[in-house]
Structure formats: structure tokens, C-alpha cells
Amino acid sequence: MTDFNRMTIGEVLNRQAERYADRAAVSYADRDVHLTYRDFVRRVDRVANGLMTLGIRKGEHIAVWAPNVPEWLLLQYAAAKIGSILVTVSTSSTASEIDRLLRHSEATTLFMAPSHRGIDFVATLRELLPDLDDAPVGHATFERYPRLKRLLVIGKQRLPGMLRFDDLFDLAAQAQEGELRRREAALDNFDVINVQFTSGTTGIPKGVMLTHRGMLQNAFALTLCQKMTHTDRLCIPVPFFHCFGCSAASIGAVVRGACMVPVEAFEPATVLATVMNERCTALYGTPTMFGAMLSHPQFADFDLTSLRTGIMAGAPCPVQLVSDVIERMGARDFTVAYGLTESSPGVTQTRTDDPADKRRNTVGRPLPGMQVRIVDPETGDDMPTGKPGLLLSRGHSTMKGYLKDPGATAQAIDEAGWLHTGDLGSLDADGYVKIVGRLKDVIIRGGENIYPAEVEAFLRTNPKIGDVAVVGVPSMMYGEEVCAVVVPAGSAMITELELVAFCENKIAREKIPSLLMLLKELPLTGSGKVRKNDLRAMAIERFNRQADADIATA
């Protein structure tokens, strides 16, 4: 693709549909969805025409709240073709989190699954919109969300106040002939096309604005490091609502003309069976996912001989786990990557021909088109080789900024264009990066970013809690677990079960503390800040997590 730098996501899909018309584009192991590139682009175009018939304009925000279903992919590429901005919503979001997202994103349209993993999305939405059932279908008005006017449910069920996703196919017939091509031609690849909410480098959830160009260039680089081609079949258990899923995986497969093999929701046996039955050559996942697959009691029963490559990312990657994926799963060209949503998401990655020790002990070198610096967090001076410091990145995939927050954007990206990642790393003499910790107070549990201040603010609403600090405690399974260090109010007492019950259905599952430590007072610095490093050390000893803390990571 000699003109790749100037293309939009829709143009790339069109090009690949011409080149690889009869090759597989999407294949689901658990349902009758097997689309060639010709079929996929035709279906995407019908959805795009349906969206335009609904009145969705360029730059309009449309939100999708669903697991890895086929409709997610159709919507992603259809939105890109008409220039509307896709706002991704975590499937574990609670009513309060959905409320904040709808307000801040100003989404005009919400696509949603009815439920997922026992969470009733429709019931959650009714909490926020009590008059939902009486809303006029397709052109509702809600006082709480003045911009929101369209609700569409994914699936066969027809619900009050909502269109069905499949109605888009009927609406497509009403689109003006040639309008889709005119809309595509009017787009620029520097346009924002995706907003993802993440704790990121600034701590509280922010809407990260990503562009056609940034996502395409990053996906191209990540797949280049794996030597991915149109003959590959990529298993995708990472959620599409994450940058790992919708950028690195979905767009990554399309830029190579490879086949996407999504898994609706991660279950170790389901993913292993999908790799076996679909003869997948590549597999993406977090360390938690790969650990769960390797430790599955029936692991040896799955034929994984088709597997060649993939990416582990999303949390610190244990050295032994990387070795196990290469050796026990047979993924000889497997890679480790480091990134963050603000970078679309990749920053560094190992290569298939790197020395064995670099492939297992580091997160690789900067991706093509990316630069990395390790600096002193206080002075901004470059650190000597091998010495840890704040990791900065710069390049084509850096976000455009945070949605409606120029102040936070200026804090994250300096005047020279360097993104301050908030992570601590070191750079060796050969240019390989090792992540050693985080400057910002962020917990990463199974690839999910959790900001302690948000959890602490919620826990402080419990009358039994006088004070609280939330810290991450090392975990072999999840990378880190959430620990609440609580100072009870007065003579009150609170148990772990009470704490969990207080949190259930009020904050996302991954944010609920799984560990509780009671103290008479929190240790403070001279300036009055909580000594979280001390609390973490105490928790490691209290919960016997030293072995977890000692696991070497890349």
C-alpha cells in the first residue's frame, strides 16, 4: 500500500475487498457467520446506508455497548465509512458509568446488546431512562440526555422504544444512490473516528480521540512485527470495546487481508477450541487470558499446531508465561507488545526474529514510526541506558487528544509531541524496552485499567468507612488485584463480604476490591499523602503474595 498514509479505514477495507474478494474476512466458530471480504464489505455498506437513512452525519457520536458480536464489526466499519465517531462502551459498565459516558460523549445514538454475562443492559438503561418504553422509536427525546435520540438493540428481540440493528438493512434501501461514495470521498484520514474512555495517563476516565491514520498505521506496524499476511487467521478473544480488540486486532487483520475469528466472550476452553477448529494462526490476549488457557485442565486435548504468532499485551507479561506460549502452545513467532489507548494502542513490540532473551524479557523495540524516550520524571532529562524513568512516546499513532478536555490533553502530550505514558521503563543498549512499574496510580487487573481514586470515592460513601486507600496487590492470575485498605468509622466493623455486597451492581466488577485490610490509620508522608508503596508492601506480606510480586515480567 504505497499510499497507505493517505487512506481512511473505509478505503482500506474497499481496497482489500478488491484484492481478496473471495478470501475469508470474518468467521465465527459458534454461529453461521462466515463472510468473504466481498460479502463483508457489501454488508458493511448496507449498514452504512442504513445509518445515513437514520440521519447520522459526519462527526456525530454513536455508542456501541456489546460484546464481540458480528454487528460490532459491521458497525465499526460502517461508521468509519460515513465519518461518524464510534464511542466504545465496556460491557461491565454500571448505570452510573453509562450515565457519565452518555453525558460526556454526547452520543446521539446507542447500539446495545440486550444482556451479557448475566448483566441486563436493558434494565440498566431503564434505570437511567424510566420513560424508555414510551419513547418514540427512532426519534426519541430524553431530558436527561438532550443529544440522545436513537436506540437500537442487537438481536432478534424487538423492544419498546428501540429499533433493531437488523432494521438498518431495510433502511439501507431508502438511501440516496451514490451518497455513501460521496460521504467516503469527503473524509480525511486525520479525522477522529473513535472515542474510547480510559483512565489512561491522567487518572480519571477521559475520552481518547483516535483517528483513521493513527489506528491504521498502528495496526499496520503491529502486524508487520508478526509477519502477518492475507493467509493468516486471527483469533480475537480480547474485547472490541478495548483498543486491543478494535484497533490492533480488527483493523490489524483488515490491513493484511487476514481473517478475523472473533470470540464473543473469553472462556479458556472456548478460545482453545476456536483456535483448533478454525485453524487459527494468530492469537491475541492479555497475560491473564493466556495463563487461564495454559492452566486449563484439558489444555493438552486441544490441537494448536496451526498457531504461529500473536500478541500478549495489556498488563505486565511474566517471562515464564511468554516462554510457555512459545513452547507449549507452539507459537514460534509470538510477540509481546506494550502500549496504551492514547497510542492507538501500540508503542513497542518484539519481533519474530529477535534473540530469545529479548522476546521473553522485554516488550521489544519501538514500532515503526514510533519513538521512545526514558526520562527523569522530575527534570525531564534522558536517563542513562538501563536506568528506569518515565516512558515517553511519540509518533503517528498518538491520540488527537482527550474529548472536550484540552487541559488534560496538554498534561499528557507536551509541546514537542511526546506522550507522557505514566509508565516507568528502562531502555537497554540494544534499544529494547522493559516496563518496571507505573508512575501514575493505576491498577491493571487482567488488562483492565482501574483508577484507585474512583474506587476510593465510592467506598467513602459507606458509613462504616472512615478512610480508605486502594492499592494494587500482585497476582499470578490477574497481574494485580484490587485491595481496599480501610480505616473503620468509629467503632464500626466491616467484613470482606459486606464490602463486596456494598459494591455489587454499583461499580464495575473488576473494580470491586477482592482483598480487604483493616488499619487504625493510614500511613502518611510529611506532606499528608498516603504512603501507598508502604500499603502495597504490607498487603504483599499480609496476603502472602511475595511469590507473585517476584514474577519477572518483560
Q: Which of 403, 438, 473 corresponds to the end of one domain?
A: 438
Instruction: Quick: pLDDT tens for 32-65.
Output: 999 999 999 999 999 999 999 999 999 999 999 9
Beta strands in 309-381 (DSSP E): 309-312, 333-339, 346-349, 365-366, 370-375
Q: Are residues 149 and 164 in the same domain?
A: yes
pLDDT 10s digits, 425-443 = 999 999 999 988 777 677 8
pLDDT in tens, 183-218: 999 999 999 999 999 854 445 679 999 999 999 999
**What number is the average pLDDT over the span 277-306?**
95
Share of the chain above pLDDT 70, in %: 97
**What does the pLDDT average to over 492-514?**
94
User: What is the pLDDT confidence band of residue 5, given thresholds at 50, 70 and 90?
Assistant: confident
Q: Is residue 49 part of a domain?
A: yes
Q: How large is the average pLDDT for residues 257-281?
A: 97
One domain, residues 271 and 151: no
Sign of the alpha-carbon torsion through 273, 275, 278, 284: positive
pLDDT of residue 74: 98
Distances (CA, A) of 123 to 18, 68, 505, 506: 43, 21, 12, 14
User: Is residue 197 situated within a structural domain?
Assistant: no
Contact at 8 Å (CB) between 210 and 103? no
Same domain, 425 and 500: no
Supply the range of the domain harboring residue 467. Answer: 443-549
543: left (phi over 0), alpha (psi -120 to 50) or beta: alpha
pLDDT at 3: 67
Give the end of a domain, one of 150, 170, 189: 189
3-state secondary structure of 9: helix
Task: Sort strands 389-395 and 370-375 into parallel, antiparallel or unpaired.
Answer: antiparallel
User: So what's the pLDDT on residue 1?
Assistant: 42
Which bin fits 314, alpha (ψ -120 to 50), beta or left (φ > 0)?
A: left
pLDDT score of 249: 98
Which of 278, 200, 194 minimizes the C-alpha distance to 236? 278
pLDDT of 380-395, one tens digit each?
Answer: 999 999 998 999 999 9
Answer yes or no: is 22 within a domain.
Answer: no
Cα–Cα distance for residue pair 48/58, rounded to 1 Å: 12
Q: Report whether pLDDT(449) > 90.
A: no
Q: Are residues 82 and 175 in the same domain?
A: yes
- Lookup: cell for 337: 507488545
Q: How many structural domains are present in the chain?
A: 3
Q: What is the mean pLDDT of residues 230-250?
A: 97
Residues 92, 156, single domain; the answer is yes
499 part of a folded domain: yes
Q: What mean pLDDT is reported for the chain?
A: 93
What is the mean predicted confidence (pLDDT) over 403-432? Answer: 95
Q: Tell me, what CATH number does 166's domain have?
A: 3.40.50.980
Residue 265 has a pLDDT of: 94
Q: Are 420 and 514 found together in one domain?
A: no
Q: Among the three residues 438, 455, 471, which one is the final residue of a domain in this structure?
A: 438
The reply to whether 522 and 380 lie within a common domain is no
Residue 213: inside a domain: no
Q: Are residues 158 and 128 in the same domain?
A: yes
Segment 95-145, tens digit of pLDDT: 998 999 999 999 999 999 999 999 999 999 999 999 898 888 878 889 899
Task: Please report whether residue 421 resides in a domain.
Answer: yes
**pLDDT given at position 531:** 84
**Cα distance between residue 404 and residue 209, in whole Å:** 10
Shared domain check, 230 and 91: no
Query: Quick one: average pLDDT of 521-532?
Result: 74
Residue 534 lies in a domain: yes
Q: Which residues contact 58 (CB under 8 A, 6 or more apart)?
A: 82, 83, 84, 183, 186, 187
* Interatomic CA distance for residues 525 and 378, integer angstroms: 18
Check residue 297 and give left, alpha or beta (phi > 0: left; psi -120 to 50: alpha). Answer: alpha
State pLDDT tens for residues 283-296: 999 988 998 999 99
Residue 490 is part of a domain; what is its CATH number? 3.30.300.30
308-362 pLDDT, tens digit each: 999 999 888 888 899 999 999 999 999 999 999 999 999 999 999 999 999 999 9
The pLDDT, as a whole number, for residue 525 is 60
Q: What is the CATH number of the domain that holds 367?
A: 3.40.50.12780
Regarding whether 242 and 148 lie in a shared domain, the answer is no
Give helix 496-503 / helix 452-459 axis angle, nearest 10°.
100
Residue 23 has pLDDT above 50, yes or no: yes
In this predicted structure, what is the pLDDT of residue 252? Answer: 98
- Tens of pLDDT, residue by residue over 456-483, are 889 989 999 988 999 999 999 899 999 9
User: Do 434 and 447 belong to one domain?
Assistant: no
pLDDT value at 404 more than 80:
yes
Cell of 490: 468509629
Within a domain: 300: yes
Residue 183 CA to residue 334 CA, distance in Å, equals: 39
Same domain, yes or no: 138 and 231: no
Distance CA 430, CA 118 (A): 48
- Asked whether the predicted pLDDT for residue 2 surpasses 60, the reply is no
